[in-house]
Amino acid sequence: MTQQYNTKSAGVRRLMQEAKELRQPTEMYFAQPMEDNLFEWHFTIRGTIGTDFEGGIYHGRIMFPAEYPMKPPNLILLTPNGRFELNKKICLSISGYHPETWLPSWSIRTALLALIGFLPSTPGGALGSLDYPPKERNRLAKLSGDWKCKECGCLMKDVLLPITEDGQSKESEEAKQLAAKLKFQDESAVKKEVAEAAKASSNTEETGPPTGSSDSERETPSEPSQSAQNLTENSASEAEAPVEPQAPAPMPEHFHQPARRIESSTFDYYLLIKIPLALLCIVIFLTLGARRLLVENGNPRNGEPEL
């Protein structure tokens, strides 16, 4: 099988590693890939003691996406159980129905233990869920040992290790704790939480954040802060008191400084040349004009007799 897949792929390496870890069956679960498809596994789980599924052995399929473990697998149960519909993807927060709640650190073992712990939960009308009476579930649990898978040929009573009280109680407790820790939910619970979150956000937008309150007051609205009460009383007293005009405060001495002369940084140094040239042109113009007048009027000494 190794030659059929790209061993550089993270998903292929992860599935091969988990196949090695799960190659030996336990008292509560067993899972292995199909011979011709690494991305399709068959699993077997046992019902927990003290529930409607006590004594039951249930078989199913796990279908992995190419992006595993970044995306969750899909779980399908094949054995009649009275909790989930057969040959239909299970809608849980650990399955492909809710990729937003999946964590890449979770493994196949995590999903199997969570499914074991989730079997006795209330269906709540979720997609693909069943709510059979306890007697019917007990009857199906007793018949499940003789159920045989048509695809892999596994007979349920021969798949898992013989049950012992200590082994089953240990793994059953682990499954319960894992299911409670991860807070696995069916579709109805997820939709309910989403609706409640949307309703809360809409109420916040309509009412707006409370004024004059701090973050600690918002976290504990039932216990108003003493500082907030004092602030309200001071504000009320200030509003009732008449407002008196106040004289402007005297300016400190260090502010009484003579105005500084702001020098322009855009001085045109060409003026030093333009102004003398302009004056020179005016002088030349006036000189030429005066000379012309003298030439036109003639020299006044021409009519005087020579000595």
Q: Which domain holds residue 61?
A: 2-193
SS3 (DSSP) at 77: strand
SS3 (DSSP) at 179: helix
> Quick check: is 199 in a domain?
no
> Quick check: is 136 in a domain?
yes
Start-to-end C-alpha separation, the chain: 144
Instruction: Give the residue ranges of DSSP H helices in the chain.
Output: 10-21, 108-118, 134-143, 165-182, 187-207, 215-219, 226-240, 271-297
List of residues 6+ apart from 87 with CB closer than 8 A: 76, 78
> Quick check: is 133 in a domain?
yes
Please indicate whether residue 91 is annotated as part of the active site.
yes
Please identify which of the residues 91, 149, 152, 281 carries the catalytic annotation: 91
Domains contained in the chain, number: 1
> Quick check: is 144 in a domain?
yes
Instruction: Please give the backbone phi and psi of residue 225, each rounded to the nearest 5 degrees, phi first.
Output: -75, 145
CATH code of the domain covering residue 155: 3.10.110.10
Task: Return the structure tokens found at 172.
Answer: 């059953």
> Quick check: is 108 in a domain?
yes
| Separation between Cα atoms, residue 15 and residue 12, nearest integer Å | 5
Q: pLDDT at position 171, please?
A: 67
> Quick check: is 259 in a domain?
no
- Residue by residue, pLDDT tens for the chain (307 residues) are 556 788 889 999 999 999 999 999 999 999 999 999 999 999 999 998 889 999 999 999 999 999 999 999 999 999 999 999 999 998 888 888 888 889 999 999 999 998 998 899 888 777 788 999 999 999 999 999 999 999 999 999 999 998 876 666 666 677 766 666 655 444 455 456 556 666 766 665 555 544 444 444 444 444 444 544 454 455 445 444 554 555 555 555 544 455 555 455 566 777 788 888 889 999 998 999 888 888 888 755 554 544 4
> Quick check: is 106 in a domain?
yes
Cis peptide before 69 (omega within 30 of 0): yes
Nearest to 132 by CA among 52, 48, 49: 52
> Quick check: is 306 in a domain?
no
